[in-house]
Structure 1
């Protein structure tokens, strides 16, 4: 007797608007590094692009950028750009011709992919000498007055509600199979100044938060927001937030 495994959950299928508003953007220095490592600047492909956090940053550095995501809702919330073409498709079946891409990137997305299938597609669409970049950002850091409470929430309270794939992000994709000649990346980070509503809005985009709500654990989230609000002070006062960037860069 055979059984069919349930389809993998698309955590972000209906979250495009919040995702576009609250997810952090990538620094231009990341696009500059990737463009400099690529054999040319003709075409960059952003697989699992969501609503274009990395796609938009790549646009000034490449002649053309294609953003690919299986969620029509995510793509509908992407900002238009004259160099960007968004397409609704999975990373494992990218609608691009052979030997066309100078860069194939996946930002905060590779842990959702069927990696062997994605790697086959990346090799198929890659130009000679093209670059493959798997980018992720780690757990955000707040200033000293807030960070201890935030880290306890992330590790201990919301931690059990993260899908298993989150462990791959926490390790910076270090344990992912990556059968390519690797290139050492520079040390980069995402830095911003956020108000308390912006930070809490960002948390609503977490798959773990949605999972906790589905499990009836709204009280856990409310208690954390109350604690952070007391430590924050004026909720409209911006405070520094930082995410370290992690990368696996290889030559296809």
Structure 2
């Protein structure tokens, strides 16, 4: 199966405007990873997670199918980037103490990826998979946002988006000692910053491609009277599952 690449075409936007993840998420994952020699961040995108893990692991390997994203990725001396699918990596057996995948598992052949995890993980290694759902703006703006998400661009999401909506509850996780946790990524953004984040959504890019117009312009006009000129708190609900190989 040919892997889906929904992000190379707007890698610059992605690098500038996608969110990173809260410190308490990393603290939770690292509480399981007592051995910290090598980590693999799969589908690393612009290297947000790889860069964070580099502060805790001697060596971080980070892979993605998008060469464009990797060119723009965060550079650290102990992070090595290379092009690879999730399901067939270039790594030797029993290499990693921790394997992570953030906001990307739903694009994979999940069974094949988990088989690869078992091959490259050290015995007892930690596997952590997470993602984040629809942004929360507050009771005054959430109805507008939900209507945009479901109705305006809803038909332009890939079917895999449903796995995000159910927080990976229907995707298999065949690992020992499974645990789930929830976090919130809190940001304070201007409306312009928020709208540029929305332009990284794969469904928005597909809408623009098919209709030759930017749906974010109209949404911004709807949000502006309430949002105003000030920055506003923007919350992203993050879900995580972790286990041992």
Q: What is the TM-score with the length of structure 2 in the denominator?
A: 0.94
SS in structure 2 of the partner of residue 79 of structure 1: coil
Counterpart of 1:242?
235
The 8 Å contact of residues 132 and 250 in structure 1, kept in 2 or not, is answered as: yes
Equivalent residues of 1:34, 1:103 under 8 A apart: no
The alpha-carbon distance between structure 1 residues 229 and 217, as it changes in their structure 2 partners (threshold 3 A), is farther
- Cα drift, residue 21 of structure 1: 0.3
Structure 1 CA distance for aligned equivalents of residues 41 and 65 of structure 2: 12
Structure 2 vs 1, CA of residues 157 and 251 (structure 1 numbering), >3 Å: closer, same or farther?
Answer: same
Would you say the 8 A contact 2:181–2:241 is kept in 1? no
Residue 210, structure 1, aligned to residue 169, structure 2: no
1:121 to 1:139, Cα distance in 2 relative to 1, 3 A: same
- How far apart, in 1, do the equivalents of 2:222 and 2:10 lie? 26
2:141 aligned with 1:149: no
Matched, 1:168 2:163: yes
Q: Which runs of 4+ in 1 moved over 3 A?
A: none
Instruction: Identify which of 14, 20, 40 aligns with 2:9.
Output: 14
Q: CA deviation at 1:183?
A: 2.9
3-state SS of paired residue (2:97): strand
Give unmatched runs, 5+ long, in structure 1: none
Per the alignment, in what secondary structure is the counterpart of residue 245 of structure 1?
strand
Measured against aligned partners, the alpha-carbon deviations of 1:8-32 in whole angstroms (never above 9, x if no partner) come to: 5411122221101000001122222
Relative distance call for 1:26 and 1:134 in structure 2 (3 A) is same
1-structure distance, mates of 2:163, 2:226: 31
Partner of 2:124: 129
Give the count of matched residue pairs: 245
Q: How far does residue 159 in structure 1 lie from its aligned partner after superposition? A: 1.2
Q: Please, what is the CA RMSD of the aligned residues?
A: 1.7
Query: Partners in 2 of 1:242 and 1:60 — Cα distance?
Result: 25
SS at 2:63's partner residue? Answer: strand
Shift of 1:210: 1.1
The DSSP-based 3-state class of the residue aligned with 2:173 is coil
Residues 44 and 8 from structure 1, CA distance in 2 versus in 1: closer, same or farther, beyond 3 angstroms? Answer: closer
